[in-house]
Structure 1
Amino acid sequence: MTVRTSASVSTLDGDVSAFARTSADLLQRVRASEPLVQCITNAVVTGFTANVLLATGASPAMCDIPDEAGVLAGVAGGVLVNLGTPTAEQRQAALEAVEAATRTETPWVLDPVAVGVLPVRTELAARLRDAAPTIIRGNASEILALAGAGSGGKGVDSTDSAEDAADVARELATRTGAVVAVSGPIDLITDGARTVRVANGHVWLTAVTGGGCALGALMAAFASTTDDALAAAVAATLAHTVAAEDAAAVSTGPGSFAVALLDALHTLTPEQLEQRARLS
Structure 2
Amino acid sequence: MKIISSPQELKEHLKSIKNSIGFQGNQSIGFVPTMGALHEGHISLIKKAKEQNETVVVSIFLNPTQFLKGEDLDKYPKKDEADKKICEISGVDVLFFPQPSDMYGADEVSILAPKVRGYVLEGESRPGHFNGVLTVVMKLFNIVNPTRAYFGKKDAQQLNLISLMVKQFFMSVEIIPVDTVREKDGLALSSRNAYLRKDERAEALKISSSLRLSSAMVSRGVLDAKEIKSAMRELLAPLEIFYVEILDREFNQLSKVEIGNTVILVEVKVGATRLLDNIWL
Per the TM superposition, whether the score is higher than 0.5 is no
Going by fraction, where is helix more abundant, 1 or 2? 1
Q: Which structure: larger Rg?
A: 2
TM-score, with structure 1 as normaliser: 0.28
